[in-house]
Structure 1
Amino acid sequence: MYLSLAMGSTECVLLAVMAYDRYVAICNPLRYPIIMNRKVCVQMATVSWMTGCLTALLETSFALRTPLCGNRIDHFTCEILAVLKLACTSSLLMDLIMLVVSVLLLPIPMLLICISYAFILSTILRIKSAEGRNKAFSTCGAHLTVVILYYGAALSMYLKPSSSSSQEIDKVISLLYGVLTPMLNPIIYSLRNKEVKDAVKKLLGKVPLLLMHAKL
């Protein structure tokens, strides 16, 4: 439970940090090496990991103190929301901790991402050349795709009333942000690489030939 929460929480903060990185790269390209130097990158990564690990420790420690009426978790993993559904009595403190952590890690980073992309979009629209706009959009495309997939699923999972959907829907949503999105990350980000793009084009170009040979 702790590892799952720590990784997921860290991902939330890292996505916001990456949005700031994209903002600096597009809105202040000449100052990018100075603003986003190695020291700043290490500090931002450290803060992201510390935030994720500490919030996960807080949630896990209080969840394990909650008395449970049962030992069978109706979920694929030891997911904290599924564990808390086994609680014998509702705990106001636990509910408050979950709410505070959820707001800290979901709406606030999402707001920072939206603000960053508002400035990015404003800068892109002022670029006169189509090639420049396409290059700027390609810089943000991969990150924005991951943000939509990850935050869309996480927000619907953690910031909804507990009675609004069944446990089966919760399990499907958890698979989306816990398994599918991390699996897609390497594909989404690597498609920015020119060599990877060329390799994919060559592979897709060979598909019709392979189908033709298969029919013969």
Structure 2
Amino acid sequence: MENGSYRYEILRIEGLRITRYSSYPVFALLFLIYLFIMVSNIGIVIMIAMDKALHKPMYFLFCNLPLSDAISATVVLPGLLKDIVAESDRYISFVACVIQAFGVHSLSTSAHTIIIIMAFDRYVAICHPLRYHTIMNNVMVVRLSVIAWIIATVPVGAILALTARLSHCTSVISNPFCDNPSLFKLSCENLLLNQIVGLSTAVMLWTMSISCIAVTYLKIAHVCIKKQNSMLKGKAIKTCSTHLIVYLILLGCDCSVIILHRFSAYEELRNVANVLFYAIPSSLNPVVYGLQTKEIRQGLKQIFLRRKVIPG
């Protein structure tokens, strides 16, 4: 077989390197985190769908975020839990690995684009309140959601197509799950193009998200200062602080993973950061929104009150 055209059909994923004695507490912790992610995120989506008081553009756009968090956690954590129980490396086909990498990157990117469209919704609500229902109609909500997912998936597909063309000189994925850097590291070819394209795409995403969030918040701040309305300021601080907290958590986890991928000496730390990236934001987002958003808090209270009333 000629070097330059061969690709392994079956790949080995090393997973997390943990001792036998620590595998049980790690498994229990990750299982509880995954269970909380699924219950909290899917629960919020169901609550928004069933509560007519939450049938507003803000919450329909927000539904994209818990759905993205639940799916991204499902793409990564169940396979990792299986590896810990089996106490061995996991084998996966090359095609399945590429599909998992597509899910991993597109879902992590979608978190950025979803936060951008949510920030736009808050900008319209605060800066153009009289035109809010005209601008943020059902068609606009659907259009923004579709745009967010297209921007998140199309570039990822192009990057992975560039990676899939490479030949392989090893079949070991030195990562707890499949992603683009782990896939192109299977090759011994010149990876400069892949590294440049991958890093450039990440920088473009960061630049776009940071710029959009910054411009939106600056315009909101300008309107609040100009109008000198205490109620408007309170509304802006309450809604924007929630978005900002979620965004900073996401950006911090994202940056740490991408930076650690560039330093092979910190492989163990990178693997842990990779897992935490799909555990921390997905579990904190529903908590942040549940605590900060009055309507969601009231919906949760009604659910718990009903459960207490029914047995009596």
TM-score interval for Structure 1 and Structure 2 normalised by the shorter chain? 0.7 to 0.9
Distance 2:185 2:222 in 1: 45
Corresponding letter in the other structure for 2:287: I
The two structures, once aligned, show a CA RMSD in angstroms of: 2.6
Aligned length: 201
Shift of 1:160: 7.4
> Which of 121, 129, 132 matches 1:32?
132
Percent of aligned pairs with the same amino acid = 25
Instruction: Determine which of 185, 190, 209 is the counterpart of 1:90.
Output: 190
Contact persistence 1:146–1:185 (CA under 8 A): yes
Match of 2:21 in 1: none
* Match of residue 144 from structure 1: 244
TM-score by length of 2: 0.57
Which string of whole-angstrom CA distances, capped at 9 and with x for unpartnered residues, describes residues 137-194 of structure 1? 1111221111001112213433678238622332233234322101222221222135
2:212 matched to 1:112?
yes
Q: Distance in 1 between matches of 2:249 and 2:296?
A: 25
Inter-partner Cα distance in structure 2 for 1:177 and 1:197:
30
1:167 partnered with 2:267: yes
* Aligned residue number for residue 93 of structure 2: none
Structure 1 equivalent of residue 105 of structure 2: 5
Q: Which moved more, 1:115-124 or 1:171-180?
A: 171-180
Q: Report what 1:42 is aligned to.
A: 142
Dislocated runs of 4+, deviation >6 Å = 197-200
Superposition TM-score, scaled by structure 1 size: 0.80
- Name structure 1 gaps, 5 residues minimum: 204-216
Instruction: Give the structure 1 partner of residue 297 of structure 2.
Output: 196
Tell me if structure 2 keeps the 8 A contact 1:106–1:155: no
The 1-side partners of 2:250 and 2:266 are apart by 20
Query: Relative contact order: is structure 1 or structure 2 higher (C-alpha 8 Å, sep ≥ 6)?
Result: 2
> CA distance change for structure 1 residues 111 and 161 in 2, over 3 Å: closer, same or farther?
farther
Deviations 1:58-79 (A, max 9, x none): 1222222222332222222112
For the structure 1 residues 189 and 77, does the alpha-carbon distance in structure 2 shift closer, same or farther, using more than 3 Å as the test? same
